[in-house]
Amino acid sequence: MPTLPWTTPNPPTPGTRALVMASRFEVRSMRDVPRFFLKSLSAWGQVKKAPGAFGASLIAQPLKRTFYTLSAWESREALSTYAGAEPHRSIMTGLRSTMRTATFDFWDVPAEDLPITWSDARRRLRAKLAADEAAAGSPG
C-alpha cells in the first residue's frame, strides 16, 4: 500500500485552528487505477506549494481501486482556492467519470493536533459513508 507521508508545506501558527479534509475515492475499474494514481501525484505536487496548506498525506490501495487523501488547511477559503486552481480543477473534472464512490469529511482541530492520524481519518470517513448511505436509503 503506497503511502505518501504527511508533509508540511506551511507550518501553522501555534494557537490557531486548522480545517481538516479527509477523502476516500474508489475508481470503477482496475483500468482506471494507473490514471487516477498519476493524477493524484500531480495534485500532490500542487498541494505542496499551495498557500494555506498546513499538511497532506495520501494512501493508495491500487488492488482495491481505492485512494485516500488527508489534508489540513488554514481555512475553507484556502482549500477552495487550491481545489479551483490548476491542475486540481482539471483533474477533478477529468476523473469524475471514473469514480465509483467519493466520500469527504471536514472538521476543525487545534493546529497543535496536526498531523491527524490515518486511523482517526479513516474512522471519520467510515462514519460519514455510513451516514450518507443511511440518508440515501431513508424516505425523503
Alpha helix (H) residue ranges in 50-117 = 76-84, 88-95
Inform me whether the pLDDT recorded for 101 exceeds 80: yes
Selection from 81, 128, 138 nearest residue 107 by Cα: 128
Distance CA 140, CA 137 (A): 9
Predicted local confidence at residue 2, as pLDDT: 80
CA distances, 40 to each of 96, 103, 128 (Å): 13, 16, 22
| β-pair partners for 56 | 7, 71
pLDDT band for 115, please (50, 70, 90 cuts).
very high
pLDDT band for 139, please (50, 70, 90 cuts).
low
Inform me whether the pLDDT recorded for 75 exceeds 70: yes
Inform me whether the pLDDT recorded for 1 exceeds 60: no
Q: What is the CA radius of gyration of the chain?
A: 15
